[in-house]
């Protein structure tokens, strides 16, 4: 059962008619218990709570039962996930269920809880801590947003296929299979699913038009900015005309980051838990470049962990393998 908080929003962050557009609404949200206890009640709809701008109707928790109380009609359990303790009610026989499903987990070495604690930071970064935004102008905004997503995906595909290490935005605008997507916004041309040609390179001649229109340039800028927010690319020096570096191909950044973690995780204050994300970010910015963003570093750290070069612990602490 989601334990209700006495705190209520003066106004719901998101109108109820739009809740269905939020992918978090209607699913079992995997939240820390400390955050569940601090959820704000919906002012207008009982049983709905808000984490930031996200409407929450049900949660999925995993923890250790630290308290059990039996009453005539129900069992009450205290569940602890390491961040807090929440009360759950399990009704006997045919009473209305407040707990949708309970599963007893045999986990003597805490593998399931460790797996959950590794999963939660990703969910928070990717969904819960991101503000849900509604399209501004209906269908037109949806079409423009879909075009940006399409161009963003094609740029990412192009960079990966050609193992591009760095580029200028103006170079991307000369690639026919990319620029034709941007031209659709103005001319309605080019099939969205047109394939990239492996033979295309960033040295290709400009597209057959007098110049790249301001609208096309702006469309590319939106897609490139989205890739920056995703951490796929970054700049050492910020600016639309400056060089972009591809995170997955930037070996110097990889080596600098790994060396920082290896050296600093041996310091007394970091031996037990590892180096905190913010410390690593500050060191990388000092040793490599001030333009490294949180998203860029997070993408790099996730890649390094997948390669078993580092291990993450709770709350984004990292140590070398």
- pLDDT by residue for the chain (321 residues), tens only, comes to 444 444 444 467 777 777 877 888 878 999 999 999 999 988 878 788 999 989 998 999 998 899 999 888 888 899 998 899 999 888 877 654 455 556 666 666 677 777 888 888 888 888 899 887 765 544 554 566 777 888 888 898 899 999 999 999 989 888 888 888 877 755 544 444 444 555 555 555 454 444 446 778 888 888 898 898 888 999 988 777 889 999 999 999 999 999 999 999 899 998 888 899 999 999 999 999 988 998 899 889 988 888 889 988 767 889 888
> What is the pLDDT, as a whole number, of residue 150?
84
Tokens matching residue 280: 């690593």
Count Cβ atoms below 10 Å from residue 190 Cβ, excluding itself: 16
Please answer whether residues 40 and 9 qualify as being in contact, where contact means their C-beta atoms are separated by less than 8 angstroms. yes
Please answer whether residues 180 and 214 qualify as being in contact, where contact means their C-beta atoms are separated by less than 8 angstroms. no
What pTM was computed for the model? 0.55
Nearest to 225 by CA among 161, 151, 136, 175: 151
The residue assigned the tokens 């109108």 is 15
Tokens matching residue 35: 């955050």
> What is the pLDDT, as a whole number, of residue 201?
56
> What is the pLDDT, as a whole number, of residue 17?
73
Please answer whether residues 297 and 248 qualify as being in contact, where contact means their C-beta atoms are separated by less than 8 angstroms. no
Please answer whether residues 77 and 67 qualify as being in contact, where contact means their C-beta atoms are separated by less than 8 angstroms. yes
> What is the pLDDT, as a whole number, of residue 72?
84
> What is the pLDDT, as a whole number, of residue 100?
56
The residue assigned the tokens 């989601």 is 2
Nearest to 176 by CA among 161, 160, 158, 156: 158
- E strand map for the chain: 28-29, 40-41, 49-51, 54-56, 58-59, 64-70, 74-80, 85-91, 166-167, 233-234, 244-246, 275-276, 310-313, 317-320
How far are the Cα atoms of 156, 220, 236 from residue 291, in angstroms, in the given order?
Answer: 20, 20, 4
């Amino acid at each position: 059962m989601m334990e209700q908080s006495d705190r209520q929003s003066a106004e719901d962050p998101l109108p109820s008619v739009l809740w269905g557009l939020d992918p978090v609404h209607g699913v079992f949200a995997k939240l820390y218990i400390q955050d569940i206890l601090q959820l704000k009640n919906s002012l207008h709809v009982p049983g709905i709570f808000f984490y930031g701008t996200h409407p929450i109707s049900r949660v999925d928790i995993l923890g250790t039962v630290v308290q059990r109380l039996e009453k005539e009609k129900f069992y009450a359990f205290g569940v602890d996930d390491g961040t807090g303790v929440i009360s759950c009610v399990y009704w006997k026989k045919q009473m209305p269920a407040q707990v949708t499903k309970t599963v007893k987990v045999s986990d003597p070495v805490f593998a399931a809880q460790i797996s959950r604690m590794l999963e939660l930071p990703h969910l928070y970064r990717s969904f819960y801590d991101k503000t849900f935004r509604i399209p501004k102008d209906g269908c037109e905004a949806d079409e423009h947003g879909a075009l940006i997503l399409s161009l963003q995906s094609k740029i990412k595909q192009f960079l990966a296929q050609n193992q591009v290490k760095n580029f200028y935005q103006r170079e991307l605008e000369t690639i026919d299979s990319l620029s034709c997507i941007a031209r659709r916004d103005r001319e309605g041309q080019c099939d969205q699913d047109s394939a990239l040609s492996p033979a295309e390179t960033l040295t290709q001649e400009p597209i057959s038009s007098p110049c790249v229109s301001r609208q096309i340039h702006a469309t590319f800028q939106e897609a490139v900015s989205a890739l920056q927010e995703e951490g796929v690319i970054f700049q050492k020096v910020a600016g639309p005309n400056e060089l972009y570096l591809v995170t997955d191909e930037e070996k110097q950044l990889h080596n600098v980051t790994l060396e920082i973690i290896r050296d600093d995780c041996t310091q007394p204050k970091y031996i037990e838990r590892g180096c905190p994300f913010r410390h690593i970010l500050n060191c990388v910015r000092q040793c490599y470049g001030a333009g490294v963003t949180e998203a860029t570093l997070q993408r790099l750290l996730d890649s390094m962990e997948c390669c078993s070069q580092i291990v993450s612990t709770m709350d984004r602490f990292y140590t070398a393998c």
